[in-house]
Structure 1
């Protein structure tokens, strides 16, 4: 097999996907059978500078180059050959946010990520103008807020894009985005597969009095769908991606996508009546709709699959960060006691202990709001743990309530879809760090949503694998073959997975917890206002 893989590498039959997540940049190289053959990753963290969550351009390129180099080194070590050409490449990244550049390609302000809740006025005004919910983290909300703030850089904007779109532009020279990623920039007209012309005109009319030297359509990227060619790696791009100079130019790129879309591909949940949940630093659920919702909801975003089908997205800014911090505290305690506990064993032990807790978490309450949480209308967050004298305070309940609260804000949005809109779901596919401990995250999620939750064997490959599959689809699809058919036939046929059905006790317990969660939001509000 290694000999066949080596020949595929030499002959450019491989496909590369790189995804920039919140805490890790991962590069995955896949072979002709669409399974990973090499990988590399780079850990990074956002910075909070001048009240903005951001990543510097220097850190972006350092991370991209490091993850690529580690993947290329993995190729050399495993197969004894240098990676000089690749069949196709795709990039994906954290959706939304704000990256703007002038005519010369200079960045005008630091990257404003999805994590910022600083566009409340813009979000409200645009949602009313369009009669379409515009979340605070969307690119258009950031742009309009900057206009409302009369920021000096506005007149100099020549190009507005996302993190994935920026990297794609620098490597190919092309200013385009995949439709799934683009749907988090500005609303998509699902009938045309591009940005809504009606809403673009409404926006231009709204800002006409500002007399800016551009119209919105002038600064937005072109929208492409899965399967279309989105450019090729330039000579400059090849040197930027591979600092050693081994990688050759001319490699085709698929459209850049967002982490939501790549998560849908990696879990094979792009068909109607399917959905997926990505649970890590943030948590979001993507549900492919059979029909449009009855009305706009502040808690629900409408985006698209990489092929342009309508998706309802419930997104929470906070998921596992505070939970991980508590596990880190237990790890610190173990070390103080002279114990060296493996991280996987520590997580596994604590997570499984949560399954022994009371169904509702024993009356305990926690909020993992490390940052603001738009789902419950918080611009800032304060991680909290609260109990009463009557609570059943033990380690099992402590862990259970922290797993519960990691999904609390998400459940508010999902209840709108499943209870109010009566959206039908056959199953949810889970991926991300919350599902690494076998069975636990699944069981908690199934109880929260009252829907069967599946985890595929391949789920751990994540979005980097997902964008690689999109690049493979572009390169290898048969004539008129849909992405859904390509995935079913060439990627997921025969793949095993595990499914956990909701336990009625977990469902009932989570509902009890949610009443406490909603009532206790006033405690979180007091903490934000008084704990600086």
Structure 2
């Protein structure tokens, strides 16, 4: 490295980002050139307790402490330095969900994560009331459902926040959220970069007859945008983060953000007319909008960037799981034939074959619905492969149809944005397992969205790196420097990425396939009903 990493650590010029994902907590320490110099992680799983998906507060702090200790040990082992000073820290977590506390700061009910689909009536009522799509996982839906359920704890609420907001509060004493995280709690007014005041009033009127001792604005965290100061690590906070007590108090923290926002930052897709798509077990695309949509869509969630610009999100529950299962079947066949097949070579061979198939997959049809799919209104799923007697059934088309269908539900949502709302999208950044085989997932995605798709070498760095970049921006930005400029000029300048533009034949073939995909949903529906 061109600078002295050891000196940067000793003089407190590093920045720490910690993100709590659904299966892993990761801590990443970055140097002055924004690259990772040390990391640590902790694996964890949610528990299903009394009908609720949850993580206990003990698990939360154990995981944070473990990931921090492993990162600090990595620093000691690599550079021979005990970590005591850090320039800034940022926390990120799974968005949405429900953490409610009383005035004494005690958790009233176990943490309800985003994964709980238990707020249907609240989601429907609020969507209609606000004329704004409120998904079931949003914090305001959880709060209103608790009110509808007549849960006793509601009257005691003094503060409601998210996972990242909870951790930040305990470490700094500050009840704040970054605007991107806050946009999954309650709708944001893009003009004020704060909760939508008219909707807050509507909510208060909706619950007025309940005679609760609080108003919504009294219990929600304050909203901050990227770059704002969000408090410092307290002496109490040090004890929660670093059990050795080596770390010094007084370190500034940036506003806590959600995993959606950190994903945008880590892929340099926070500017208008850009987007990023994450494709793995599930797939979601996020597009930064130039203006608000003309109406509310059940298929589209609206959140914001960490700077408060509106983002449309299309999310599909199913992506590559069924595709991976088919690749696994080919591996089994190879073993039965006495072949020892390397999985990377197997994926590469099969994926590249898909590029040789007919543009529309030769009349084949498949659905990779291992689980339900909200984009097409399925509560349950049944993986299916279907062909007619005159379809062109060969291996290339078989692989191609499974790659196409992995993006079928996503395309329905994206077509709303790109065709019905005429959203302008210059480029989309791809990351996730679908893009591991060089060039193939990119080309299929470009065909589905009719938009150039780029994959960066840093795309695998993830959300912990993204929140570290936000913390770095807070302390290192120059006066009036935007986050977009900071990322483009100081973090990603000279970043080697590969871009694939859509091939018109592929685009046309995907449209033909989508006609078949939509018509065939009746087959999927029948499979759900009859294959119990």
With normalisation by structure 1, the TM-score equals 0.91
2:495 alignment partner, SS class: coil
**Residue 409, structure 1, aligned to residue 409, structure 2:** yes
User: What pairs up with 1:375-454 in 2 under 5 angstroms?
Assistant: 375-378=375-378, 380-388=379-387, 390=389, 392=392, 395-454=395-454
Once residues 16 and 250 of structure 2 are traced to their aligned partners in structure 1, the CA distance between those partners, rounded to angstroms, is 14
Cα distance, 1:368–1:4 mapped onto 2, change above 3 Å:
same
Deviation by residue 1:9-66 (Cα, 9 ceiling, x = unmatched): 1111001112222333322211001111122233444444555444343443343333
Cα distance, 1:214–1:529 mapped onto 2, change above 3 Å:
farther
What's the offset of the Cα at 1:199?
0.5
CA contact (8 A) 1:75 1:82 kept: yes
CA contact (8 A) 2:98 2:143 kept: yes
Cα distance, 1:346–1:168 mapped onto 2, change above 3 Å:
farther
Cα distance, 1:118–1:400 mapped onto 2, change above 3 Å:
farther
Deviation by residue 1:190-217 (Cα, 9 ceiling, x = unmatched): 1111101110110011011122222211
What's the offset of the Cα at 1:457?
1.9
Deviation by residue 1:336-356 (Cα, 9 ceiling, x = unmatched): 777765554454444334334
Q: Which residue of 2 aligns with 1:225?
A: 225
Deviation by residue 1:486-512 (Cα, 9 ceiling, x = unmatched): 112211111121001112232223223
1:123 alignment partner, SS class: helix
Once residues 139 and 99 of structure 2 are traced to their aligned partners in structure 1, the CA distance between those partners, rounded to angstroms, is 8
Cα distance, 1:82–1:423 mapped onto 2, change above 3 Å:
same
Cα distance, 1:382–1:12 mapped onto 2, change above 3 Å:
same
Q: Which residue of 2 aligns with 1:293?
A: 293
CA contact (8 A) 1:115 1:371 kept: no
Q: Which residue of 1 aligns with 2:307?
A: 307
Q: Which residue of 2 aligns with 1:197?
A: 197
2:4 alignment partner, SS class: helix
Query: How many aligned residue pairs are there?
Result: 531
Moved more, 516-525 or 68-77: 516-525
Cα distance, 1:71–1:362 mapped onto 2, change above 3 Å:
farther
Moved more, 269-278 or 175-184: 269-278
What's the offset of the Cα at 1:329?
5.7
Q: Which residue of 2 aligns with 1:265?
A: 265
1:142 alignment partner, SS class: helix
**Residue 138, structure 1, aligned to residue 134, structure 2:** no
Deviation by residue 1:241-263 (Cα, 9 ceiling, x = unmatched): 23333323222110111122112
Cα distance, 1:155–1:363 mapped onto 2, change above 3 Å:
farther
RMSD (Å), alpha carbons: 2.6
Once residues 335 and 26 of structure 1 are traced to their aligned partners in structure 2, the CA distance between those partners, rounded to angstroms, is 36
Once residues 114 and 51 of structure 1 are traced to their aligned partners in structure 2, the CA distance between those partners, rounded to angstroms, is 14
What's the offset of the Cα at 1:168?
1.7
User: What pairs up with 1:85-484 in 2 under 5 angstroms?
Assistant: 85-327=85-327, 344-378=344-378, 380-388=379-387, 390=389, 392=392, 395-484=395-484
Once residues 163 and 31 of structure 1 are traced to their aligned partners in structure 2, the CA distance between those partners, rounded to angstroms, is 27
Deviation by residue 1:345-401 (Cα, 9 ceiling, x = unmatched): 4544443343344433444444444444332233x3324123235355555444433
CA contact (8 A) 2:15 2:86 kept: yes
Moved more, 256-265 or 389-398: 389-398
CA contact (8 A) 1:316 1:409 kept: yes
Deviation by residue 1:140-161 (Cα, 9 ceiling, x = unmatched): 1222222223234322333222
Moved more, 384-393 or 449-458: 384-393
Deviation by residue 1:64-90 (Cα, 9 ceiling, x = unmatched): 333323322222222222222211111
Cα distance, 1:238–1:210 mapped onto 2, change above 3 Å:
same
Moved more, 398-407 or 488-497: 398-407
CA contact (8 A) 1:322 1:383 kept: no
Moved more, 171-180 or 111-120: 111-120
Q: Which residue of 2 aligns with 1:64?
A: 64
Once residues 47 and 398 of structure 1 are traced to their aligned partners in structure 2, the CA distance between those partners, rounded to angstroms, is 38
Deviation by residue 1:236-285 (Cα, 9 ceiling, x = unmatched): 32232233333232221101111221122112222222111122343222
Once residues 61 and 32 of structure 2 are traced to their aligned partners in structure 1, the CA distance between those partners, rounded to angstroms, is 28
1:132 alignment partner, SS class: coil
Larger radius of gyration: 2
Once residues 252 and 338 of structure 1 are traced to their aligned partners in structure 2, the CA distance between those partners, rounded to angstroms, is 59
1:314 alignment partner, SS class: strand
2:375 alignment partner, SS class: helix
Cα distance, 1:211–1:244 mapped onto 2, change above 3 Å:
same
Cα distance, 1:136–1:402 mapped onto 2, change above 3 Å:
farther
Cα distance, 1:164–1:519 mapped onto 2, change above 3 Å:
farther
Cα distance, 1:86–1:65 mapped onto 2, change above 3 Å:
same
What's the offset of the Cα at 1:433?
2.8
Cα distance, 1:321–1:149 mapped onto 2, change above 3 Å:
farther
1:40 alignment partner, SS class: strand
Deviation by residue 1:281-329 (Cα, 9 ceiling, x = unmatched): 4322222222222222222222211111122222223334444455556
